[in-house]
Amino acid sequence: QVQLVEAGGGLVQAGGSLRLSCVASGRPFATHAMGWFRQAPGKERELVATISSGGSTYYGDAVKGRVTISRDYGKNTLYLQMNNLKPEDTAVYYCASSQYMTWGNRTSDYDYWGQGTQVSVSS
């Protein structure tokens, strides 16, 4: 059974930083794409960042230059370092893993999802 467990969300002031983590279990960690997505109230889920099985990264336009995605293969953990946070970054952030793909930037490329962690940024 695949499990993705996120942690690290919280309330932060604009300009602050947070690091999200996602511990994966139940399947090989290194062989498939993983990503972070977010969903704000009333909006569709959108891409934040993805990382391929080989370590290549891709960032959404709204966060480019402010976030870094990384994966620790030894700990089966995916990270998202977020800096210079803005109120518009407020959303539930989800960790995702693809069942088959080594690289993907669409929500439909991902088959397994965590429960989400809330990030709230105050102005």
Q: pLDDT digits over 34-87, tens only?
A: 999 999 999 999 999 999 999 999 999 999 999 999 999 899 999 999 999 999
Q: What is the mean pLDDT of residues 15-26?
A: 96
Cβ-based burial of 123 (10 A; exposed 0-12, middle 13-18, buried ≥19): exposed
pLDDT digit string (tens) for 75-123?
999 999 999 999 999 999 999 999 888 999 999 999 999 999 999 999 9
